[in-house]
Amino acid sequence: MPTILADSFTASLAKLTNDEQKQAKLTAFDLQTDPNRPGLQMHRIDASKDPNFWSVRVNRDIRIIIHKSGDSVMLAYVDHHDDAYKWAERRRIETHPRTGALQIVEVRERVEEIALRPELPPQTELPFQVTPPPAANDLPLFASLSAEDVLSIGVPPDWVADVRDASEETFFALAGHLPQEAAEALLDYAATGTLKEPAPADTAPLEHPDAQRRFRILEGHEELAAALDQPFEKWAVFLHPSQRALVERDFSGPVRVIGSAGTGKTVVALHRVARILRQDPIARVLLTTFSEPLAAALNHKLRVLLADEPALKERVVTSSFQRSAAELFSLITGRRPYIISPDQVRTLLREAAEVSGLARYTPQFLLSEWQHVVDAWQIGTEEAYAAVPRMGRKNRLGAKQREELWAVFSAVREQIRAKAMMTESDLFTAVADHFQSRGDKPYTHIVVDEAQDLGVAELRFLQAIVPPQPDALFFAGDIGQRIFQQPFSWKGLGVDIRGRSFTLKVNYRTSHQIRRMADRLLPANVRDVDGEEDQRKGTVSVFDGVDPTLVLAPTQQDETVAAAAFLERLLSDGIGLNEIGMFCRSNQELPRVAQAAELAGIETTSSLAGRNAKEAVLIGTMHLAKGLEFRAVLILACDEGVLPLSSRIEDVADEFELDEVVATERQLLYVAATRARDHLFISAVAPGSEFLEDFLQN
Ligand SMILES: Nc1ncnc2c1ncn2[C@@H]1O[C@H](COP(=O)(O)OP(=O)(O)OP(=O)(O)O)[C@@H](O)[C@H]1O
């Protein structure tokens, strides 16, 4: 008999104590083995309108709620006795009359009253807190939709009238009672004014895409064990239909998944790896991202996803771009690569310019030209430098200037070679050159996370180490979170994702309030160099929370006091130290962060490993925040001159680079702010960064 696992079961299981969870899992196994076994003490829930709900005894207090129909049993919910019964009395399971998807419907007449903003404790204002103008939020949102429109997106008939009366103020409380596809479609409508096309109702109720995200059919004990072992990792079991489509589709070329922070791009990348390994028994996959700590985090998640298929894991390598190149380099040459630092390059450039009598070129210009043109594009000859288009750069260089500059750059190249060192780009290029024309490639597939920070040489490298087959390259990333690399044409390098770039729109991480505020930092549309558009408008969060706190303090001391008060509030709300991250722009401001933590009397750590090892708040620069996630985030010292960082502004070589620097600094703040799930605190000493003004606009 098939067992159906509902996401409401895994969510309720996660709320029990460890012992209760263990016992509930054992009962679930017994149930799967023999649903008629007398020890299970099944009782029909008589007060439920749905006659198929039954309770199953786990122990004196805990009950599992199952739903029996035909020859299948659904694990629907688990809780303490009275709460479990109450849940079942208020629910029925049915096929939606329009969409045809199976739904667990909350019975409207059993819901006494919908609280406007439940579970939000009153918040006292912190000193020097500034509040954005309130949005008009009591206007009806869906009044112009007909009842038929509302039904068409999967709102259960019981709830149609409530939806049509809802305002922004009441909507999130109401959304908690609706099936997720309906809540998302309504939010999407509120954001864009367009109602999503209903999915065709030509599948069985359980196979409908909207049903697949909340129900999973499990065939045997092993599958049930695997699914129940990860009750906190809902993403590992239940995917949004738009995520599932990207995981499962076959593509005719390289693919890119984009979407703003928290929309589940990493989740899709991980499932894609699992899918490739399951489908292709000889696949060897590289799962890669831009830093080792992030690669370690990906590796951990992949282990969760492949928990019951450990053999698959043996065919995946998870490492950063640089480390994967360094390992291949060692394999090819038998020696380690020695990478020269940017500071060393800067010194070499200055010395070479002095020797050539070209000290009139500023060190900033020389370094920028080296990094973004000569080294990035691996220019090796004077002729190649004379011909390079120097895309986007405003200060044109004539033939004469290029000729004299080439003397500097070629001297620096010589120096690096003489030291038996290489730049990162040299490393990527050396490995790419080796594999370019060979038939035997180290990997069959590459899945890239944080792909927006790939540079020219990295992309060439990745392309060279897989065979030229259609689905070999899969990229996930957010153009709006690019903080390291300058943009360039992927198409120009032969990676053509046109027609295969897909945007995820449902934000699972960040509350509605935090996402809305962070979104103000970036334009509604971002276009890449190849003209592919990332429509950021219309992204919806799946839950509601408290407004972010913005503090503009007169002095650093006042800022410290406000941040410490915020920390104390978090702790008294029961938020654990490991669930908090504190960030600032650069190492220079770190003492300010540490001071606030000290005033609040809390332990801190500056390493991800330290965060896992002990109960402590992670503190670091915004770059460290990338790819991470916290219940609460504090960003301090967003002062004028700090954000954008004045030393970077002073270093720019031309107007093009100035625009780039300001954009990436803005994106950095966006990255840090979107790490927060429930609570966000941003502070500065007045007048504060120019970016903070964006937050205050409506
Ligand atoms: N289908 C899903 N069901 C439940 N949770 C999900 C789902 N997809 C993603 N999540 C959760 O949403 C959060 C964000 O997901 P993820 O890290 O994949 O987003 P991202 O788009 O890669 O974010 P960023 O761009 O900020 O790195 C994670 O906590 C993840 O577990």
pLDDT confidence of 308, banded at 50, 70, 90? confident
Per residue in 591-615, pLDDT tens? 999 999 999 999 999 887 767 667 8
For residue 4, report the phi and psi dihedrals to the nearest 5 degrees: -105, 130
Per residue in 191-225, pLDDT tens? 777 888 776 667 888 888 888 888 888 877 777 87
Residue 453 CB–ligand 1 contact under 6 Å: no
The CA distance from 321 to 335, in Å, is 18
Ligand 1 atom closest to the Cα of residue 267 is 18
Ligand 1 atom closest to the Cα of residue 270 is 18
pLDDT at 133: 64
Picking from 254, 248, 267, 273, the residue whose alpha carbon sits closest to that of residue 473 is 254
Q: Specify whether the CB–CB gap between 663 and 522 falls below 8 A.
A: no
Residue 627 CB–ligand 1 contact under 6 Å: yes
Q: Which residues pair with 62 in a beta bridge?
A: 80
What average pLDDT score do residues 470-494 get? 88
- Binding-site positions read 259-266
629 alpha carbon – ligand 1 mean position (Å): 9
Q: Domain 546-696: give its CATH code.
A: 3.40.50.300
CA-only gyration radius of the chain, Å: 28
Domain boundaries, the chain: 3-109+205-225, 249-334+427-535, 342-421, 546-696
Task: Indicate the CATH number of 3-109+205-225 among 2.115.10.20, 3.30.2310.20, 3.20.20.10, 1.10.260.40.
Answer: 3.30.2310.20
Picking from 669, 370, 695, the residue whose alpha carbon sits closest to that of residue 550 is 695
- 249-334+427-535 shares its CATH topology with 546-696: yes
- Would you say residue 443 has pLDDT above 90? yes
Task: Extract the runs of DSSP E, i.e. beta strands, from 435-590.
Answer: 445-448, 473-476, 501-503, 506-507, 525-527, 533-535, 540-541, 549-553, 580-584
Residue 425 CB–ligand 1 contact under 6 Å: no
Of the chain, the end-to-end C-alpha distance in Å amounts to 55
Any idea which fold 249-334+427-535 has?
A: Rossmann fold (3.40.50)
Residue 635 CB–ligand 1 contact under 6 Å: no
- Would you say residue 398 has pLDDT above 90? no
Q: Whose Cα sits closest to atom 4 in ligand 1?
A: 235
pLDDT at 135: 59
Pick the residue with more confidence: 32 or 415? 415
Other C-beta atoms lying within 10 Å of the C-beta of residue 481:
22
The CA distance from 594 to 118, in Å, is 34
Residue 478 CB–ligand 1 contact under 6 Å: yes
Which DSSP string do the residues of 160-184 spell out, in sequence order? HHHHHH-BHHHHHHHHTTS-HHHHH
pLDDT at 538: 75
Q: Whose Cα sits closest to atom 3 in ligand 1?
A: 235
Ligand 1 atom closest to the Cα of residue 629 is 29
Other C-beta atoms lying within 10 Å of the C-beta of residue 253:
16
What is the CA angle 606-618-590, rounded to 5? 60
ipTM of the complex model: 0.98
- Would you say residue 628 has pLDDT above 60? yes
- Binding-site positions for ATP read 259-266
Residue 265 CB–ligand 1 contact under 6 Å: yes
Residue 243 CB–ligand 1 contact under 6 Å: yes
Alpha carbon 677 to chain centroid, angstroms? 11
97 alpha carbon – ligand 1 mean position (Å): 31
Q: Whose Cα sits closest to atom 13 in ligand 1?
A: 509
120 alpha carbon – ligand 1 mean position (Å): 24
Look-up of token digits 């000193």? 127
For residue 94, report the phi and psi dihedrals to the nearest 5 degrees: -155, 165
**Amino acid (one-letter) located at 251:** F
